[in-house]
Structure 1
Amino acid sequence: MKKAYLYLALSAATLFTACSKDDETTAPAATTTETTATINGAQQTPANNSTATGTFTGTYNSGTKQLAYTVTYQGITATAGHIHLGGPGVAGGVAVPFDKLASPITGTVTLTADQADKLLTNGLYVNIHSAAYPQGEIRGDIRKK
């Protein structure tokens, strides 16, 4: 009988120790990452001689998974604009379409885990299209500041 009580006492002590607050793991703290891009025809795939230019600035919050961005451009009449998947020199699919095209373009979007990973590893770019260049006139590869 003493063995049964000893076993019960040890089991209870193990249970309480295993549940102690010191053993709990916490999620990593959210981080904010600033991003930027210079937008021009030289980065377009394939490159072109457009004189249009622009900039992209963004702030990504890892806790909310949200990217707040501003795109400005000049020297082009935009027919479409997006953030695309794809590293430098690589054309890719649309990740974030822009709701409006007048400069400045501003917005906030919640990224998927894959999009967030690509944002943080130079795998996204901003692209502005025109009638003269329907596949994209100016492009900027998004990088961490």
Structure 2
Amino acid sequence: MKKILLAALAGLVLVSACKKDNDSVPTQQVSGTFSGSNEVPAITASGSGTFTGTYTPSTKSLSYTATFSGLTGAATASHLHFGDAKHSGPVTVSFTGVPAANSGTITGTATLTAQQADSLTAGRIYANIHTAANTGGELRANVRVK
């Protein structure tokens, strides 16, 4: 009887240890600071801004707000990209409602795939704002989960 009880207890400990830590977290804060110096390669740009939001691991839902000002011209596009702080990568989430202005706010919600969610929590996602003068990106915010 002791052996069965011990085996059952060991099984419970093993199952508990294998559960993902972030599954029990209701929401996590995400943030980043937009600047030209975050671009890869870095560019000289006077614009700035912030990327903030919440990520819910259980539903893989990301709600975000991006604010920016001081662009060289109107924003032409804005996205989330795969890539760590030292590398650029492909677009993974395109933002809608990007104001065609040199300052503004973008808000939205995205349901992430498993790959996107893993990249976000590992610090391998960044937000980018593009302009006609800087088609590869004028402002970049390396997004971090807190």
C-alpha RMSD over aligned residues: 2.0
Question: 1:104 aligns to what SS in structure 2?
Answer: strand
Specify the alignment match of 1:12 in structure 2: none
Name the aligned partner's letter for residue 88 of structure 2: A
Equivalent residue number for residue 45 of structure 1: 40
In the alignment of these two chains, the number of paired residues is 125
**TM-score (norm: length of structure 2):** 0.79
The 5 A counterparts of 1:1-145 are 28-76=23-71, 77-102=74-99, 103-145=104-146
* Distance (Å, rounded) in 2 between the aligned partners of 1:124 and 1:71: 14
How far apart, in 2, do the equivalents of 1:119 and 1:32 lie?
13
Deviation at 1:32, TM superposition (A): 1.1
State the alpha-carbon separation in 2 of the partners of residues 120 and 31 from structure 1. Answer: 14
* Equivalent position SS for 2:117: helix
Q: Distance in 2 between matches of 1:53 and 1:63?
A: 32
Offset at residue 30 of structure 1 (A)? 4.7
2: distance between equivalents of 1:101 and 1:81?
A: 7
Q: Runs of 4+ in structure 1 displaced over 4 angstroms? A: 25-28
2:5 aligned partner: none
Q: Which runs of 5+ in 2 are unaligned?
A: 1-7
Gaps of 5+ in 1: 1-17
Q: Which residue of 2 aligns with 1:6?
A: none
Rg larger for: 1
Rounded to whole Å, the distance in 1 between the matches of 2:90 and 2:57 is 23
Q: Distance in 2 between matches of 1:130 and 1:84?
A: 16
Q: Distance in 1 between matches of 2:117 and 2:133?
A: 32
Distance in 1, matches of 2:142 and 2:86, equals 9
For residues 108 and 145 of structure 2, what CA distance do their matches in structure 1 show?
18
Q: Distance in 2 between matches of 1:54 and 1:127?
A: 11
User: Quick one: percent identity of the two aligned structures?
Assistant: 43
CA-CA distance at 1:63 after TM superposition: 1.3
TM-score (norm 1): 0.79
Partner SS, residue 116 of structure 2: helix
Report the Cα distance in structure 2 between the residues aligned to 1:116 and 1:83, rounded to whole angstroms. Answer: 12
CA distance in 2, matches of 1:83, 1:32: 19
2-structure distance, mates of 1:135, 1:30: 35
